[in-house]
Amino acid sequence: MDQDIEKILFPATDIQARIDELAARITEDYRGKELTVVAVLTGALMFTADLLRRIPLPLKLDCISVASYHGAAESSGEVKFEQLSLPDIAGRHVLVVDDILDSGLTLDAILSRFHAECRPLSVRICVLLSKQRPRRKEIHANYVGFPIADEFVVGYGLDYDERYRNLPFIGVLKQVRQG
Ligand code: IMP
Ligand code: MG
């Protein structure tokens, strides 16, 4: 698996150190508030688990599952919700946690549905990675782990065709080339 990686962008220790900082900020920002964290599966699984263990607040955790990639390295443009019902976030402050902000389509679709159907008090976004490239939807992430160049990355939850999620680091794949 490791031999498929061209270069390591963020070793495990760097990821954990950055999550310490994000968790400290989030803890201060949400102290005394009714917080629900919504993890966007599957990519945000590792990140959310490590982040929440560092946030000592009485929060709730929900998950949402969306698909937009269908095994390719370029977004299909269509965001499909995998569950019938949305999380019960009425009257709560919501922090949506995702692995990476790329085109913005996924988070835009989630935010639009939350605001239209769920009556949250507030919705903020936390992503581990933010790709520096023009977005198809303008999305502002309130908490960003690392900005990255426009490269396809895997590891620490991020996949290529459902593989490489279990790598402890984040790296660039050898064989995927985007035009
Ligand atoms: P967006 O809708 O284009 O912003 O992409 C969001 C989703 O696409 C993320 O939650 C990831 O699952 C996936 N994605 C985007 N870029 C990458 C990448 O470089 N590696 C792996 N998955 C990615
Ligand atoms: Mg994915």
Q: Please write the tens of the pLDDT for every residue from 135-161.
A: 999 999 999 999 999 999 999 999 999
Decide if pLDDT at 170 tops 50. Answer: yes
Question: Which of 158, 162, 165 has most ligand 1 atoms within 8 Å of CB, for mutation?
Answer: 158
* Range 9-21 average pLDDT: 98
Closest CA to 133 of 153, 115, 114, 113: 153
Note the pTM of the prediction, 2 decimals.
0.93
Give the percent of the chain with pLDDT over 90: 85
Closest CA to 22 of 58, 51, 62, 63: 51
Return the amino acid letter for 1. Answer: M
Kindly give the distance from the C-alpha atom of residue 162 to the centroid of ligand 2, in angstroms, as a whole number: 7
Atom of ligand 1 nearest to the CA of 44: 10
Catalytic residues, which ones? 102
The strand ranges marked E within the chain are: 5-10, 35-41, 60-67, 80-81, 93-101, 122-131, 143-148, 153-154, 170-173
- Map out the domains of the chain as residue ranges: 2-68+86-173
* Range 6-24 average pLDDT: 98
* Bond prior to 36 in cis (omega within 30° of 0): no
pLDDT tier at 76, thresholds 50, 70, 90 = low
Tokens representing 77 are 């443009």
Domain formed by 2-68+86-173, architecture:
3-Layer(aba) Sandwich (3.40)
* Range 56-70 average pLDDT: 89
